[in-house]
């Protein structure tokens, strides 16, 4: 996959970061009674094997893929009573290539429970999963629902800027958690090369243009209820979309995103649903949603099911001038079934079967396959994926 994003960081920086971290641990033990009264180190990772019956999708290919691994290292320090410094670096193997990225690095200062100020590259407060992208032990499937949390332009792992957050207790077991932020958002936007006008990219199965939204104003509000485990949420942002797309769209446009969420969590049940809309001026609109449920049969065994759907519309596009398979590139509909075995809250083994219709995310694997498809006009609409893997956290 071609990646035009500039936020990837080199392996040298990754090695330096890890080396400094481990060198700092003994020093931190000595200084524990002084500057750093609290330093917490957490990690999240996983590995999976994926195989499909045709198109490449997520961790799977037709021949099967073993090289799906990721790990995120999270460090939180509290040099002052009300000050927290948080950073996370993530590495992943993507189609045989190792990539490293700074997810976030920010400072947070607590003035009160109702007012916490943040500055830097801050975790993106968006929906249910926006701040826990990498924590696989907090979800029922290996991958997040792609309609909203995939490379579809809805959200990113972080925003660059400033924000405030807080919590209000309304009494009678009602409460409000809020986030408001200003700055810039950078995230993933992946599309097949045949949707571009660049002849150098035309045969690429996937091109990650990324997306950048500046002058962003965003928010998230979560309401807790007297029903134990039941919360409602609303998230959104608007700003100037400066994505450098070579797909025949306007260079500068506004991007408006709105997402509604509901979550119900108990010891046995995990039920989540979200519905979102995305609009980029007159260029394109997206309507996405998912419904996800999981049930613990025992302390160890869990069953899960998810329905995931995304539909993209191009109001100003004349489809009569495009190949007949082009509308398939705009749709995604998935039904996923899974079974999990939990050794504990920090380690889970997963097996899932995912049935996909549409080619928004499930597409061909090689340029040679793209070239053949352009000759025959035949693009497989349905894709089935089997995933076996494990996820862990500490």
User: What is the C-alpha to C-alpha distance for residues 8 and 99, in angstroms, rounded to an integer?
Assistant: 7
| pLDDT band for position 250 (cuts 50, 70, 90) | low
Looking at residue 197, its pLDDT comes to 76
Q: Of the ranges 4-8, 95-99, 142-146, which one carries the lowest mean pLDDT score?
A: 4-8
The dihedral through the CA atoms of 121, 5, 95, 360 has a sign that is positive
In the predicted model, is pLDDT for residue 246 greater than 70? no
99-119, pLDDT tens digit by residue? 889 999 999 999 999 999 999
Q: How far is residue 17's CA from residue 22's CA, in Å, rounded to a whole number?
A: 9
- For residue 148 the two structure tokens come to 């909203």
Which pair of tokens denotes residue 188?
């993933």
Q: What superfamily would CATH give domain 2-393? A: Porin (2.40.160.10)
pLDDT category at 3 given cuts 50, 70, 90 is low
Are 277 and 287 in contact, with CB atoms under 8 Å apart? yes
The structural domains of the chain, with segments of one domain joined by +, span 2-393
Percent share of the chain, pLDDT over 70: 88
Please state, in angstroms and rounded to a whole number, the distance separating the CA atoms of residues 70 and 58. Answer: 13
Sign of CA dihedral 107, 11, 187, 47: negative
What's the CA gap between 13 and 152, in Å, rounded?
28
User: Which one, of 44, 38, 47, 41, lies nearest residue 17 by Cα?
Assistant: 41
Residue with more model confidence, 153 or 295: 295
State yes or no: pLDDT of 245 exceeds 70.
no
Average pLDDT over residues 178-187: 96
* pTM (2 d.p.): 0.88
Q: Residue 296: name the closest of 269, 330, 277, 325 by CA.
A: 269
pLDDT confidence of residue 16:
38
pLDDT at 228: 95
Which residue intervals of 196-291 are DSSP H helices? none
pLDDT of residue 27: 41
3-state secondary structure string, 185-250? EEECEEECHHHCCCCCCCCCCCEECCEEEEEEEEEEEEEECCCCCEEEEEEEEEEEECCCCCCCCC
* DSSP H stretches of helix in 113-270: 146-149
The CA distance from 293 to 221, in Å, is 22
Measured CA to CA, the distance from residue 120 to residue 122 in angstroms comes to 6
Q: Are 87 and 42 in contact (CB under 8 A)?
A: no
Q: Give the pLDDT of residue 118.
A: 98
**What average pLDDT does the segment 165-184 reach?**
96
Instruction: Tell me: pLDDT of 12 over 50.
Output: no
Neighbours of 69 (CB within 10 A): 16
Which residue in the block uniquely carries the two structure tokens 């097996």? 351
């Amino acid at each position: 996959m071609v990646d035009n994003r500039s936020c990837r960081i080199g392996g040298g920086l990754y090695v330096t970061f890890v080396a400094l971290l481990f060198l700092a641990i003994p020093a931190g033990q000595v200084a524990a009674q002084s500057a750093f009264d609290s330093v917490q180190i957490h990690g999240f990772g996983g590995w999976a094997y994926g195989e499909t019956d045709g198109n490449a999708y997520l961790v799977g290919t037709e021949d099967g893929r073993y090289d799906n691994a990721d790990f995120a290292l999270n460090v939180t320090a509290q040099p002052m009573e009300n000050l927290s410094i948080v950073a996370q670096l993530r590495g992943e193997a993507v189609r045989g290539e190792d990539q490293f990225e700074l997810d976030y690095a920010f400072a947070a200062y607590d003035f009160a429970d109702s007012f916490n100020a943040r500055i830097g590259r801050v975790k993106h407060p968006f929906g249910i999963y926006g701040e826990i992208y990498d924590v696989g032990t907090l979800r029922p499937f290996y991958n997040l629902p792609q309609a909203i949390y995939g490379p579809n332009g809805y959200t990113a792992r972080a925003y660059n800027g400033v924000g405030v957050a807080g919590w209000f207790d309304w009494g009678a077991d009602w409460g409000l958690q809020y986030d408001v932020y200003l700055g810039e958002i950078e995230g993933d936007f992946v599309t097949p090369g045949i949707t571009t006008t660049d002849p150098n990219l035309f045969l690429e199965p996937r091109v990650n243009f990324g997306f950048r939204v500046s002058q962003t104003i965003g928010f998230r509000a979560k309401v807790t209820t007297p029903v134990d485990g039941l919360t409602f949420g609303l998230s959104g942002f608007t700003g100037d979309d400066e994505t450098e797309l070579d797909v025949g769209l306007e260079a500068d446009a506004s991007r408006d995103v709105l997402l509604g969420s509901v979550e119900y969590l108990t010891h046995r049940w995990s039920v989540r649903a979200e519905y979102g809309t995305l609009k980029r001026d007159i260029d394109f609109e997206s309507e996405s949603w998912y419904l996800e449920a999981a049930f613990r049969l025992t302390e160890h065994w869990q069953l899960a099911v998810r329905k995931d759907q995304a539909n993209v519309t191009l109001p100003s596009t004349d489809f009569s001038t495009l190949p007949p398979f082009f509308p398939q590139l705009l749709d995604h509909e998935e039904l996923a079934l899974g079974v999990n075995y939990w050794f504990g809250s920090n380690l889970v083994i997963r097996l899932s079967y995912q049935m996909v219709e549409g080619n928004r995310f499930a597409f061909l694997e090689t340029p040679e396959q793209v070239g053949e498809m352009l000759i025959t006009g035949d693009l497989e609409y349905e894709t089935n994926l089997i995933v076996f893997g494990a996820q862990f956290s500490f």
